[in-house]
Amino acid sequence: MSLRTEYPFTLPKGFVDDHGTLHRTGTMRLACARDEIEPLRDPRVKENDAYATVIVLARVVTELGTVPRVSTKTIESLFVSDFGYLQDLYRIINFQDPSILEAMEPGTPFPMESAEVA
């Protein structure tokens, strides 16, 4: 039995870059403790606790279309529905049973009970 550490995703709407290119598919990896600890040192988080989520997602989203590097600016520029989708995906792969992803159509919203932390 092997541990799966990366999960492909399809955003509901997609990220539009500065050139107008739409990026919908990507990959998120499992988070490690450092991914949740490091943002707490960031001055942006000290001003606004909610910004930690932006930093964490920028660390764990390893691919987004042909975007060369996913940064906090990239995450900040997502449509709200896509930002929420990535938050739900993060909770599912890190705290729930990611096998539910196998039965879902790419880009569809997660069932509410799947995205809740137990």
Cα separation of 9 and 64, whole Å?
A: 9
Backbone torsion region of residue 107, taken as left when φ is above 0, otherwise alpha when ψ lies between -120 and 50, otherwise beta:
left
Pick the more confident residue, 12 or 110.
12
> Does the pLDDT of residue 114 top 70, yes or no?
no
Q: Give me the mean pLDDT over the 17-25 stretch.
A: 97
> Does the pLDDT of residue 57 top 90, yes or no?
yes
